[in-house]
Amino acid sequence: MAPKLAAQARREFEPPEAEAGPEGALLDLSHLSSIVGYPLRRAQMAVFEDFARRFQPLDLTPAQYSTLSTIGDNPGRNQSEIAAALGILRPNFVAMMDELERRGLAERTRSGVDRRSNALALTPTGRELLTRARVVQGEQEAAIEDILGRGEREALVEALRKLATLA
Protein backbone atom coordinates (compact mmCIF):
# COMPACT_ATOMS: atom_id res chain seq x y z
CA MET A 1 0.00 0.00 0.00
CA ALA A 2 1.28 3.47 -0.88
CA PRO A 3 2.34 5.71 2.03
CA LYS A 4 -0.64 8.01 1.50
CA LEU A 5 -3.13 5.16 1.63
CA ALA A 6 -1.32 3.69 4.61
CA ALA A 7 -1.69 6.98 6.45
CA GLN A 8 -5.37 7.04 5.56
CA ALA A 9 -5.86 3.49 6.84
CA ARG A 10 -4.10 4.51 10.05
CA ARG A 11 -6.49 7.38 10.60
CA GLU A 12 -9.54 5.29 9.82
CA PHE A 13 -8.75 2.08 11.64
CA GLU A 14 -6.53 2.84 14.58
CA PRO A 15 -8.45 4.09 17.57
CA PRO A 16 -6.48 6.90 19.27
CA GLU A 17 -6.43 5.17 22.67
CA ALA A 18 -4.30 2.37 21.24
CA GLU A 19 -1.53 4.86 20.41
CA ALA A 20 -1.52 5.99 24.01
CA GLY A 21 -1.22 2.47 25.37
CA PRO A 22 2.04 2.05 27.29
CA GLU A 23 4.45 -0.38 25.67
CA GLY A 24 4.57 -3.64 27.56
CA ALA A 25 1.03 -3.37 28.91
CA LEU A 26 -1.00 -6.57 28.76
CA LEU A 27 -2.54 -7.40 25.43
CA ASP A 28 -6.15 -8.39 24.95
CA LEU A 29 -5.97 -12.10 24.07
CA SER A 30 -9.51 -12.85 25.22
CA HIS A 31 -10.68 -14.03 21.80
CA LEU A 32 -7.84 -16.52 21.32
CA SER A 33 -8.08 -17.74 24.88
CA SER A 34 -11.74 -18.58 24.39
CA ILE A 35 -11.18 -20.92 21.45
CA VAL A 36 -9.92 -24.45 21.96
CA GLY A 37 -7.20 -24.53 19.28
CA TYR A 38 -5.07 -21.78 20.78
CA PRO A 39 -4.60 -23.05 24.38
CA LEU A 40 -4.36 -26.55 22.86
CA ARG A 41 -1.38 -25.52 20.75
CA ARG A 42 0.25 -23.56 23.59
CA ALA A 43 -0.12 -26.54 25.96
CA GLN A 44 1.21 -28.97 23.35
CA MET A 45 4.24 -26.77 22.75
CA ALA A 46 4.89 -26.44 26.50
CA VAL A 47 4.65 -30.20 27.06
CA PHE A 48 6.91 -30.93 24.08
CA GLU A 49 9.48 -28.34 25.20
CA ASP A 50 9.46 -29.90 28.65
CA PHE A 51 9.82 -33.33 27.02
CA ALA A 52 12.76 -32.11 24.92
CA ARG A 53 14.55 -30.83 28.02
CA ARG A 54 13.98 -34.05 29.98
CA PHE A 55 14.84 -36.35 27.06
CA GLN A 56 17.88 -34.46 25.84
CA PRO A 57 20.28 -36.79 27.74
CA LEU A 58 18.61 -39.78 26.03
CA ASP A 59 18.64 -38.07 22.61
CA LEU A 60 15.01 -38.99 21.90
CA THR A 61 12.30 -36.94 20.21
CA PRO A 62 8.63 -37.48 21.13
CA ALA A 63 8.06 -39.37 17.85
CA GLN A 64 11.10 -41.60 18.48
CA TYR A 65 9.92 -42.29 22.02
CA SER A 66 6.39 -43.16 20.82
CA THR A 67 7.85 -45.47 18.20
CA LEU A 68 10.22 -47.30 20.56
CA SER A 69 7.43 -47.65 23.10
CA THR A 70 4.95 -49.03 20.56
CA ILE A 71 7.46 -51.44 19.03
CA GLY A 72 8.44 -52.57 22.53
CA ASP A 73 4.81 -53.35 23.40
CA ASN A 74 4.04 -54.85 19.98
CA PRO A 75 7.12 -56.76 18.76
CA GLY A 76 6.85 -58.37 15.35
CA ARG A 77 4.32 -55.92 13.91
CA ASN A 78 5.24 -54.32 10.62
CA GLN A 79 6.12 -50.75 9.68
CA SER A 80 2.76 -49.93 8.09
CA GLU A 81 0.88 -50.99 11.20
CA ILE A 82 3.05 -49.07 13.65
CA ALA A 83 3.12 -45.95 11.44
CA ALA A 84 -0.66 -46.01 10.99
CA ALA A 85 -1.31 -46.52 14.70
CA LEU A 86 0.88 -43.50 15.53
CA GLY A 87 -0.48 -41.34 12.71
CA ILE A 88 2.99 -40.89 11.17
CA LEU A 89 3.27 -40.64 7.38
CA ARG A 90 5.10 -43.62 5.93
CA PRO A 91 8.04 -41.75 4.36
CA ASN A 92 8.68 -40.01 7.69
CA PHE A 93 8.35 -43.29 9.55
CA VAL A 94 10.78 -45.10 7.23
CA ALA A 95 13.33 -42.30 7.73
CA MET A 96 12.91 -42.54 11.49
CA MET A 97 13.33 -46.33 11.44
CA ASP A 98 16.52 -45.85 9.41
CA GLU A 99 17.79 -43.58 12.19
CA LEU A 100 16.74 -45.92 15.03
CA GLU A 101 18.38 -48.82 13.20
CA ARG A 102 21.55 -46.79 12.61
CA ARG A 103 21.71 -46.12 16.36
CA GLY A 104 21.26 -49.83 17.10
CA LEU A 105 17.93 -49.31 18.93
CA ALA A 106 15.48 -51.11 16.66
CA GLU A 107 15.58 -53.52 13.75
CA ARG A 108 13.59 -54.64 10.77
CA THR A 109 13.72 -58.33 11.45
CA ARG A 110 12.70 -59.79 8.09
CA SER A 111 14.36 -58.60 4.93
CA GLY A 112 11.66 -59.14 2.35
CA VAL A 113 11.53 -57.42 -0.99
CA ASP A 114 9.00 -54.91 0.33
CA ARG A 115 10.53 -53.06 3.29
CA ARG A 116 7.02 -52.17 4.49
CA SER A 117 6.33 -55.80 5.34
CA ASN A 118 9.35 -56.05 7.64
CA ALA A 119 8.51 -56.91 11.21
CA LEU A 120 9.96 -54.48 13.77
CA ALA A 121 11.62 -55.26 17.07
CA LEU A 122 13.81 -53.50 19.61
CA THR A 123 17.42 -54.50 20.06
CA PRO A 124 18.77 -55.14 23.59
CA THR A 125 20.12 -51.56 23.51
CA GLY A 126 16.73 -50.24 22.41
CA ARG A 127 14.96 -52.16 25.14
CA GLU A 128 17.33 -50.78 27.76
CA LEU A 129 16.86 -47.22 26.46
CA LEU A 130 13.08 -47.65 26.50
CA THR A 131 13.19 -48.70 30.15
CA ARG A 132 15.17 -45.57 31.04
CA ALA A 133 12.91 -43.41 28.87
CA ARG A 134 9.77 -44.63 30.63
CA VAL A 135 11.25 -43.56 33.96
CA VAL A 136 11.86 -40.07 32.53
CA GLN A 137 8.34 -40.05 31.06
CA GLY A 138 6.97 -40.96 34.48
CA GLU A 139 8.71 -37.89 35.89
CA GLN A 140 6.98 -35.69 33.34
CA GLU A 141 3.62 -37.24 34.17
CA ALA A 142 4.26 -36.54 37.86
CA ALA A 143 5.09 -32.90 37.06
CA ILE A 144 1.84 -32.62 35.09
CA GLU A 145 -0.11 -34.17 37.93
CA ASP A 146 1.45 -31.61 40.29
CA ILE A 147 -0.12 -28.89 38.13
CA LEU A 148 -3.50 -30.47 37.43
CA GLY A 149 -4.15 -32.99 40.16
CA ARG A 150 -5.04 -36.57 39.29
CA GLY A 151 -8.73 -36.07 38.56
CA GLU A 152 -8.25 -33.11 36.24
CA ARG A 153 -5.37 -34.90 34.51
CA GLU A 154 -7.57 -37.92 33.78
CA ALA A 155 -10.44 -35.72 32.61
CA LEU A 156 -8.02 -33.90 30.32
CA VAL A 157 -6.78 -37.12 28.71
CA GLU A 158 -10.36 -38.27 28.19
CA ALA A 159 -11.37 -34.94 26.58
CA LEU A 160 -8.28 -35.00 24.33
CA ARG A 161 -9.12 -38.51 23.12
CA LYS A 162 -12.61 -37.37 22.15
CA LEU A 163 -11.21 -34.25 20.49
CA ALA A 164 -8.87 -36.36 18.34
CA THR A 165 -11.97 -37.70 16.56
CA LEU A 166 -12.70 -34.22 15.13
CA ALA A 167 -10.64 -34.54 11.96
**End-to-end CA distance of the chain, in Å?**
38
Q: Rounded to whole angstroms, how far apart are CA atoms 139 and 47?
A: 12
Number of amino acids touching a second copy (CB under 8 A): 84
Q: Rounded to whole angstroms, how far apart are CA atoms 164 and 34?
A: 19
Q: Which of 58, 61, 81, 99 binds a second copy (CB under 8 A)?
A: 81
Minimum Å gap between C-beta 53 and a second copy is 8
By CB under 8 A, the residues from 38 to 77 that bind a second copy are 38-51, 53, 62, 66, 69-70, 73-77
**What's at 88, amino acid-wise?**
I
In Å, the largest CA–CA distance within the chain is 71
Q: Rounded to whole angstroms, how far apart are CA atoms 16 and 51?
A: 44
Q: Which of 113, 135, 142, 164 binds a second copy (CB under 8 A)?
A: 164
Minimum Å gap between C-beta 95 and a second copy is 19
Q: Which of 4, 23, 59, 150 binds a second copy (CB under 8 A)?
A: 23
By CB under 8 A, the residues from 99 to 158 that bind a second copy are 104, 107, 109, 119, 121-124, 127, 134, 137, 140-141, 143-144, 147-148, 152-153, 155-157
Contact criterion met (CB below 8 Å) for 118 and 111? yes
According to DSSP, residue 24 is labeled T
Q: Which of 4, 35, 113, 114 binds a second copy (CB under 8 A)?
A: 35
